[in-house]
Each structure stands twice: as structure tokens, then as C-alpha cells.
A = this chain, B = another copy of it.
Amino acid sequence: MTYCVGLLLNEGMVLLSDTRTNAGLDNISTYRKMFTFEEPGERVITIMTAGSLSVTQTTIARLREAIEDDGATGETSIMQAPTMLKVAEIVGNMLASVRAEIDEKLATMRQLASASMIVAGQRKGGVMRLFLIYPEGNFIEATEDTPFLQIGEHKYGKPILDRVVRPDTSLQDAQKAVLLSMDSTLRSNLSVGMPLDLAVIERDACRVTLRRRIEAGDSQFAAMSEAWSRALRDGFTQICL
């Protein structure tokens, strides 16, 4: 399983993903699920992935190939696409075609291959945009009313986001919010696991302005998690029925 979350705020975008993958319950590994493509100051695109590892890895690899291809154009390369909408379309089409290809291979095993992605980015002169790409290649976009998108095991971590994330939330608070959202998910679902990848893309910077890998023993994350537990317990105690 996986949990990835992205926030689209006035000041920028905040992205967080876990790294646990499993092929069955008895085969657990660590794989990065956050991939950044950037030409600092000109264009930044960060993609987070959930679902079948063979689908997501192949999709990302083909997106890279398309960027490096000699004949790359704005129709094929996410680094040349004229708009973020076009980027989302290229990613969606690639995901859908890889998924269909692998799905066909798995049909004889009566298994399904599926994956979804979050695409966050900005190109110079454009606005920041945050998309959720479905396995079929279609997508939705974060808006002022719903400034966050999640993929994977999204339910445990949604209540805290529903409560505290607004477009005017600061980038500092937003990092706290996604980390606490992840903390709830880690506690309730063993198939989501450390380390975590955190990225912040400040508005109009067109590059990743903060990138942090949070390892299992990270004392800052542990302290925050403990403080949140204490706050919840204290809050709970103080409430009258």
C-alpha cells in the first residue's frame, strides 16, 4: 500500500509520500514514490505514485525516455509541454497505456494492474497546479475549495486535512498537517511505512525549495508524533460528554 498527499496553497505546494511497497504480505520493500523533474527557475514537476510498482516504474521510466528523446516535442515531453494541463495529459496517457499493456499480461493470472499518480508543478509564467491522475488516464485538479489531493490509503489521514488545510495555510503549517496526516496513516495501516519523502515547492520559484527524507528513527518526526498524541489525549480528556 501507499499514502501520498499533495497540498495546493497560496504560498506554494507541499508534497509527502511514504516508501513502502509489498508484493503480498510477506514481501515488503522500500521504493521511492516521489520523482522530480526540474529545470530550476523555468519548470518544476513532481510526480507521486501509488499502485502496482511495475506500472508506476515503467510509466516514470518512459516519461524520462520521452524527455531525453532527440525528437522530443511539447506533445511528448513533460519538460517541453506548453502548459501544466498538457503535462497532466501526457502523464495520464502514458499511465493509461502502460497500465493497459501490463493489465493484458496479467489477464491470464486473473489479476488487475492499476496505479494512480499526483502531479504537481509550475512553469515560469504559469500558475501552480496539482492534479490527481486516475488509472484510466483522466484526471482531476485541486481547487480553492478542495486544496489537497491524496492517493493510496487516504482515509485515515483525511480528517486532519479536512480540519486544518485551507488555501491560506502557511507552508510551515502545511508541512505539519501532511506529516500528522501521515502519522495517523502509519499508525493504522502497517502497509504504509517510513522513510518518508517531503517536498515543498514555493510559489513562482519553479524549483523544489525544500526536499527532506525522513528516516524511521527521525527524532524530530518522533517528537512531533508524540506531541500530537499528547495533544489528542489532553483534548480528549478535557471534553465533556
Contacts and interface: CB of A to CB of B under 8 A. Distances in A.
B163 A232 contact: yes
A228 B234 CA distance: 11
Contact of A231 (B156, B173, B188, B238): B238
Given A177-B236, A180-B236, A233-B163, A241 B228 contact: no
A159 B183 CA distance: 10
Contacts of A159: 156, 159, 184, 187-188
Number of copies: 2
Interface string A170-183: 00110111011000
Contacts of A231: 231-232, 234-236, 238-239
Nearest to A220: B241
Interface residues of A, number: 33
B235 A232 contact: yes
A231 to B, nearest CB: 3
A205 B3 CA distance: 44
B164 A188 contact: no
A156 B181 CA distance: 11
Contacts of A209: none
A240 interface: yes
Interface of A: 155-156, 158-160, 162-164, 172-173, 175-177, 179-180, 184, 187-188, 220, 224, 227-229, 231-236, 238-241
Closest 9 A/B residue pairs (Cβ): A231-B235, A155-B155, A159-B184, A227-B239, A176-B241, A158-B188, A155-B156, A164-B236, A235-B235
Given A155-B188, A156-B158, A224-B241, 11 more contacts: A155-B155, A155-B156, A160-B232, A163-B233, A173-B236, A175-B241, A176-B236, A176-B239, A228-B239, A231-B234, A231-B235
23 contacts: A155-B155, A155-B188, A156-B156, A156-B158, A158-B188, A159-B184, A159-B187, A160-B236, A162-B188, A163-B187, A163-B229, A164-B232, A164-B233, A173-B236, A176-B241, A227-B238, A228-B235, A228-B236, A231-B234, A231-B239, A232-B235, A234-B235, A235-B235
